[in-house]
Chains A and B, each alone.
Chain A
Amino acid sequence: MHELSIALSIIEGAQEEAERQGNAQIEAVYLRLGPLAGVVREALTFAYDLACEGTALHGSRLVIVDVPITFFCAECAVERTPISVQNMSCPVCGTPAAQVLTGAELEICALELQT
């Protein structure tokens, strides 16, 4: 359960970014999250509300934008999403996904600010 420390890092990061925008009030934080980031979505959402209490982000929303796992399938010569996290192979031809292109994202991609 490291989602609380992740949530605290999100708040810290969002506040720093908001400062660059003239210290505007943060209404929502948009987070790109991949299945390989090692973060449980529900636990993070819960931890976020908890971590926001007593900060300038109190009452703000955490909007999670799911990022799929993708890899380049050499056999199909195209980018694919593997069958599942447990079965990292091409859903069309079965080639193993040796090197992923996306899916480990854990990043703030946008802030909704009050003007």
Chain B
Amino acid sequence: MSGQPRLVEVRRKVLKHNDIVADELRGRFAAAGIFVVSLVSSPGSGKTAFLERTLFRMRERFRVAALVGDLATENDCARLARAGAPVRQITTGTVCHLDADMVDKALNGWDLGALDFLFIENVGNLVCPSSYDLGENLRLVLISVTEGEDKPLKYPTIFHTADLAAITKIDLATAVEFDSAAAIRNIQSVRPGMKVLELSAKTSQGMDEWFAVLESKLARSVQASG
């Protein structure tokens, strides 16, 4: 015979395992003096073109590498390798996001000490990646002008977990009647105070500001760990 059920208080984060692995990664990144940026966006917002341009330019002065997450295919990896930086693909199969374990596994055998920047391109998805800490130092959320100004209001959580936002394909803004001011207002409403970049990987408009952000972040993190 069973008695009355009893209620036991516990305190346990559901993603405890991921958080532990992410913290370990963060520690390794700090020890190696490397600055890690993750990119999140919808499919087709221009993450890969943006990353290609970033790797190409940054590798003139820094040691850069990238991990690229995708459900299937290694096309992005092949495309990014053209920028001349080491790139590894993480194929997630049916999983809609990267987690810290996948990043940890993908880094196996890589000498982090030989890098200044590591970029992690998440699977194109504005929902699921928001729950998973990858140990990154900066999470950049991208929206393209073709997606509409209200994207931040529709997917507030991912904007809330991000540190920096970028509006991509800004060269198409006029053609698609994109209202930049409204988009920035929406981002600010969801995530007050977050810096927003407006850029185009194609024309390089606004890319220098992005590179300046990266450089200042690296300088600050090296200073903090030194």
Contacts and interface: CB of A to CB of B under 8 A. Distances in A.
Interface of A: 1-2, 5-6, 9-10, 13, 16-17, 21, 27-28, 31, 35-39, 85-89, 96-98, 100, 104, 106-115
A10 to B, nearest CB: 5
17 contacts: A2-B96, A6-B15, A6-B131, A10-B14, A35-B157, A36-B160, A38-B130, A38-B161, A85-B190, A88-B189, A106-B14, A107-B11, A107-B13, A110-B7, A110-B9, A113-B6, A113-B7
Contacts of B71: none
Contacts of A100: 160
Given A2-B97, A38-B158, A115 B12 contact: no
Contacts of B7: 110-113
A96 B193 CA distance: 8
A48 B190 CA distance: 29
Contacts of B17: 9
Most buried by A among B3, B97, B128: B128
Contacts of B9: 109-110
B97 to A, nearest CB: 6
Interface residues on B, range: 35 or more
B78 interface: no
B2 interface: yes
A89 B192 contact: yes
Among A5, A31, A35, A106, which residue has the most Cβ atoms of chain B within 10 A?
A5
B193 A86 contact: no
B14 A13 contact: yes
Contacts of A37: 131, 157
Interface of B: 2-17, 95-97, 127-128, 130-131, 153, 156-158, 160-161, 188-193
A30 to B, nearest CB: 8
Given A9-B14, A108-B12, A115-B5, A38 B192 contact: no
A104 B19 CA distance: 13
A96 B14 contact: no
B99 to A, nearest CB: 8
A9 B8 contact: no
Contacts of A113: 5-8
B124 to A, nearest CB: 14
A108 B9 CA distance: 9
Contact of A111 (B8, B13, B14, B127): B8
A9 B96 CA distance: 16
Nearest to B188: A96
Contact of B157 (A1, A6, A36, A98): A36
